[in-house]
Amino acid sequence: MQRIDLDDVALRELNEILQAQGDDTNQTSWEIINPKGSHALAVGLDAPIEVTIKGSTGYYCGGMNKQATITVDGSVGPGVGENMMSGMLKIAGDASQYAGATGRGGLLAIKGNAASRCGISMKGIDIVVHGNIGHMSAFMAQKGNLVVLGDAGDALGDSIYEANLFVRGNVRSLGADCVEKDMTPDHLAQLAGLLEAAEADADPASFRRYGSARKLYHFDIDNAAQY
């Protein structure tokens, strides 16, 4: 295992080292210590490596990730896993606002709570939050799955295109054009797989599914009040 101490190595240098790892690297396991809330830690990785960050991070941790498995042993600031492409991000603590924003693929698992705008404009990422999520989550979500074991805040899935929102707890309110939908056997199987991948112990049958009513796709004068 390679260990990098951010008290000794500059952030930019750390990211360059991690970004330089290729598909065939022998150095597949990394530990980063003393993150101290730094921004943009382990961003833009593109190799099947495992990176563990020992402590809490600032903005944009693991952004644009491809292939790598990044574990944060703490909480993360705004924009964790922003525009993630593939791989996995595991957060032991809480996540601040817009976790997984615009993510295109991979799995973002948050053991604690996520704040507002979780999964905003998600485009294929899977997000599993063990706790609660804040308001305006999955705003304009286009593709992917958002799984919440706790409660969701106001205006869940506002102006949603296509994405599955699975919530086990209460939803304070649904956003424009977001409605509850049937849970089919296919959805239950898909949800079971996501829960397992995110190490979440919950019965898929205890969730409700929400998605797009598809009434805002094309402008209709009768819907003007909803825009």
Partner 1 sequence: MCGIVGLFIKDKALEVSLGDMLSDMLVTMTDRGPDSAGIAIYGSGAADHVKISVQSADPDTVFDQLSEKLAGALTLPFEVERKSTHAICTVADQDVAVFDDIIKEDFPGLSIMSRGETMEIFKEVGLPKDVIARFGINAMSGTHGIGHTRMATESAVVTNGAHPFSTGADQCLVHNGSLSNHNNLRRDLAHNGITLETQNDSEVAAGYLTWQMQNGANLGEALEASLSDLDGFFTFVVGTKDGFGVLRDPIACKPAVLAETDQYVAFGSEYRALVGLPGIADAQIWEPEPGKVYFWKH
- Binding residues for partner 1, rule: CB under 8 A, are 36-38, 56, 58-59, 75, 77-78, 94, 96-97, 115-116, 134-135
What residues pair up with 165 in beta bridges, in sequence order?
146, 210
Largest Cα separation within the chain, whole Å, is 61
Minimum Å gap between C-beta 71 and partner 1 is 18
Distance CA 80, CA 64 (A): 10
Which is nearer to partner 1, 30 or 59 (by Cβ)?
59
* Helix (H/G/I), strand (E/B), else coil: 118: coil
Nearer to partner 1, 33 or 179 (CB): 33
Task: State whether residue 133 is helix, strand or coil.
Answer: strand
**Least distance from C-beta 7 to partner 1, angstroms?**
11
Nearer to partner 1, 6 or 47 (CB): 6
Amino acid making up residue 7: D
Based on the number of CB atoms within 10 Å of its own CB, is 1 exposed (0-12), middle (13-18) or buried (19 or more)? exposed
Choice between 52 and 116, CB closer to partner 1: 116
Cβ at position 82, least distance to partner 1 in Å: 15
Closest separation in Å from C-beta 150 to partner 1: 14
B/e letters for 50-82, b = 16+ CB within 10 Å, e = fewer, are ebbbbbbbbbbbbbbbbbbbbbbbbbbbbbbbb
Nearer to partner 1, 134 or 144 (CB): 134
Kindly state the smallest distance separating residue 147's Cβ from partner 1, in Å.
Answer: 21
Name the minimum Å distance from CB 143 to partner 1: 25
Between 152 and 191, CB nearer to partner 1:
152
Q: What are phi and psi of 3, to 5 degrees?
A: -120, 130
| Backbone CA torsion sign across 118, 132, 72, 48 | negative
